[in-house]
Amino acid sequence: KWSFEELGCLSRKAANVLSEACGLQRGDRVIAVLPRVPEWWLLSVACMRAGIVFIPGTSQLTAKDISYRLQASKAKCIITSDTLAPALEPVLPGSQFLKSQLIVGRGSRDGWLNLKELL
């Protein structure tokens, strides 16, 4: 649980992570494929702060669905959990606009930034 003060502070930090570590600018798009975790709310508020378009997706999306959404939205970043990342990795090389990949969770993977470490 976070208080409104904690959410405000953390969302400012997360907005900086998206802008600096992920290299996103105002108007860029982010796809979040996350289960029900508090970080979903944190990232949606952080995107609002930074002027980044937040595109939510459920963990039930197939690889084909994600590939289509990446291409249609021209998303520059994808955010997912450490448990869902292996299922998403096969479709990521086909996305020509994708710049960064962000993991929410304790795990780490090659080629992915970890939100908790960056905060």
pLDDT in tens, 5-44: 999 999 999 999 999 999 999 999 999 999 989 999 999 9
What is the rounded average pLDDT for all residues in the chain?
93
Tally helices (H) and strands (E) across the chain: 5, 5
Q: What pLDDT is recorded for position 94?
A: 84
**CA angle, 101 as apex, 99 and 104 as ends, to 5°?**
155
Residue 84 belongs to domain with CATH number:
3.40.50.980
Task: Say how many domains are in the chain.
Answer: 1
pTM value? 0.91
- The whole domain housing 17 covers 4-117
